[in-house]
């Protein structure tokens, strides 16, 4: 898996008088790809007459969008399914769908489990297949629903999947087994979707894929991500464009140059390194060396000096020695990532790393894994403290996403969280904020008056 940020979300209820027969309850665990799938499902269900329910017992259609990247995610879903046994007994007309990465192209492992409370199993991203199971859907001839939950008030920032599946075979990753081979969505389809989402009020689009840089290689004419970015960049109303997640073996100089040239492309790259040891990268089958990774970072920084670099690291992969881990620490310190998503290795059935984990000579003991995770987290905090402190006194351009605890909450171009207080409604607008306080996790500041809005912003 590209370590997309991990979420655990549930249906947002509304207050209308829709009966239980046309209420759905959706619970989502997993990465941004699952969140995006769930947003699309919610929009589609609302398009066929369903409304969200706050609790499972208030719905006749229950969907659990699952994740199998870590054992703990699967355990959460299995726990939730366990809670539904009594509900199914009390309300037998309830339809329960297990969706997502626990139901991959290879379904043997899920069918081996006894899950009598599940009526249907649907593989990841198959939104239409889930909607087709909704027993009381009402179809009209209207334009298809936009893939955003609330058609009248779409979020400021929307993730648009441009590709599904992955053709790599990283030792630890279950995604290719569950999401299948790469399938790129056609350029025209994505561009039209972006146009419609932005026309409804979204201001930032993140193009989403497991290896987003490989988009297009399976399409006629083999367009590249840079072509897609160029095609959507000038969408009227679009303020910001991002893409997630990159792969060091796939990111090209052409893409770097294109992103550096296009003003709405934000200066942010998520480039998972996973380990700072060449031995480990080979065991992980990542397809690059640390030398190549460092050279790529140097080229990105040369083209975009203000780039915000984030990465993913797995600690405690089978075979990782103390020396390998020390090399990971050294590489992270040297590069000075703005953010590091850290995961302690979790063996996933069917992957080569799960086999290796069974060998006591290769397995890293759990306390050691946790010690390494903690050490890297502490390093990350030190780096983030320093990098964010550099913003003190600077003015950053912030795209405001909404309110949080009495303040406006938005993102800088490099995707740093920024908070400021102001009585006006700033949602969906660009604000210039002078930073007065920093922490490893966020920046706080004050709004610059309109006449100073041309104050040079950093990043
Ligand atoms: S196989 Fe590798 S590249 Fe593909 S999703 Fe998993 S970690 Fe990412």
> Can you spell out the DSSP letters for 232-268?
HHT-TT--EEEEE---TTT--HHHHHHHHH-TTB-SE
Q: Is 203 in the pocket of ligand 1 (CB under 6 A)?
A: no
Q: What's the pTM?
A: 0.86
Question: Residue 2 C-alpha to ligand 1 middle, in angstroms?
Answer: 5
Q: How confident is the model at residue 453, as a pLDDT?
A: 41
Rounded to whole angstroms, how far apart are CA atoms 294 and 428?
A: 36
Query: Rounded to the nearest whole angstrom, what is the distance from the C-alpha of residue 168 to the centroid of ligand 1?
Result: 6
To test the pocket of ligand 1, the residue of 104, 163, 173 to mutate (highest count of ligand atoms within 8 Å of its CB) is 173
- Mutational test site, ligand 1, from 166, 245, 281, max ligand atoms within 8 Å of CB: 166
**Structure token pair of residue 328:** 């990971």
Q: Please, what are the domains in the chain? A: 7-131 (3.40.50.12160), 154-266 (3.30.750.210), 395-452 (2.40.50.140)
Confidence at residue 188, expressed as pLDDT on a 0 to 100 scale: 97
Taking the CA of residue 179 as reference, the ligand 1 atom at the shortest distance is: 5
User: Does 178 contact ligand 1 (Cβ within 6 A)?
Assistant: no
Closest CA to 174 of 103, 251, 252, 99: 103
CB 444 within 8 A of CB 436: yes
Which H or E run contains 41? helix 32-47
Q: Encode 271-297 in three state secondary structure.
A: CCCECCCHHHHHHCCCCCCHHHHHHHH
Angular region, 379: left φ>0, alpha ψ -120 to 50, beta rest? alpha
pLDDT for position 374: 98
- Please identify every stretch of the chain with a pLDDT value under 70, giving residue numbers as ranges: 1-16, 105-112, 140-154, 450-459
Half-sphere exposure of 344 (CA within 13 A, CB side): 16
Task: For residue 120, give both structure tokens.
Answer: 């249907």
Apex 31 CA angle, 273 and 275, nearest 5: 15
pLDDT of residue 454: 40
Ligand 1 pocket check for 175: Cβ under 6 Å: yes
């Amino acid at each position: 898996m590209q370590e997309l940020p991990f979420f655990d979300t549930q249906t947002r209820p509304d207050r209308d008088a829709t009966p239980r027969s046309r209420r759905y309850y959706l619970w989502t665990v997993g990465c941004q790809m699952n969140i995006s799938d769930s947003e699309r499902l919610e929009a589609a269900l609302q398009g066929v007459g369903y409304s969200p329910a706050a609790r499972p017992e208030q719905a006749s259609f229950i969907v659990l969008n699952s994740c199998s990247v870590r054992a703990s995610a699967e355990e959460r879903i299995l726990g939730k399914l366990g809670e539904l046994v009594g509900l199914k007994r009390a309300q037998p007309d309830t339809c329960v769908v297990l969706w997502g990465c626990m139901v991959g192209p290879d379904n043997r492992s899920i069918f081996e489990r006894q899950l009598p409370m599940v009526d249907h199993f649907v593989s990841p991203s198959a939104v239409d297949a889930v909607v087709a199971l909704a027993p009381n859907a009402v179809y009209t001839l209207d334009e298809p629903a936009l893939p955003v939950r609330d058609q009248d008030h779409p979020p400021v920032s929307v993730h648009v999947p441009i590709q599904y599946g992955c053709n790599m075979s990283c030792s630890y990753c279950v995604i290719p087994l569950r999401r299948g081979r790469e399938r790129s969505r056609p350029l025209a389809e994505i561009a039209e979707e972006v146009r419609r989402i932005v026309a409804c009020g979204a201001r930032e689009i993140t193009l989403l894929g497991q290896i987003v840089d490989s988009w297009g290689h399976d399409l006629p004419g083999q367009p590249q991500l840079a072509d897609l970015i160029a095609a959507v960049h000038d969408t009227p109303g679009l303020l910001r464009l991002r893409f997630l997640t990159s792969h060091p073996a796939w990111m090209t100089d052409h893409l770097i140059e294109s992103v550096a040239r296009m003003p709405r492309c934000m200066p942010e790259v998520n480039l998972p390194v996973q380990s700072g040891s060449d031995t480990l990268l080979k065991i992980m089958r990542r397809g690059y060396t640390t030398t190549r990774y460092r050279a790529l970072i140097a080229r990105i920084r040369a083209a975009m000096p203000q780039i915000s670099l984030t990465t993913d690291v797995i600690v405690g992969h089978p075979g990782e020695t103390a020396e390998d881990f020390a090399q990971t620490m050294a590489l992270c310190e040297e590069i000075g990532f703005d953010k590091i998503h850290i995961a302690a290795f979790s063996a996933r059935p069917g992957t080569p790393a799960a086999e290796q984990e069974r060998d006591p000579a290769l397995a890293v003991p759990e306390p050691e894994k946790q010690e390494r995770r903690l050490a890297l987290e502490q390093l990350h905090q030190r780096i983030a403290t320093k990098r964010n402190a550099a913003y003190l006194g600077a003015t950053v351009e912030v795209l405001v996403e909404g309110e949080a605890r009495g303040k406006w909450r938005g993102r800088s171009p490099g995707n740093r969280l920024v908070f400021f207080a102001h009585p006006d409604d700033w949602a969906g607008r660009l604000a210039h904020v002078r930073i007065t306080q920093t922490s490893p996790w966020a920046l706080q500041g004050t709004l610059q008056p309109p006449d100073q809005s041309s104050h040079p912003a950093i990043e």
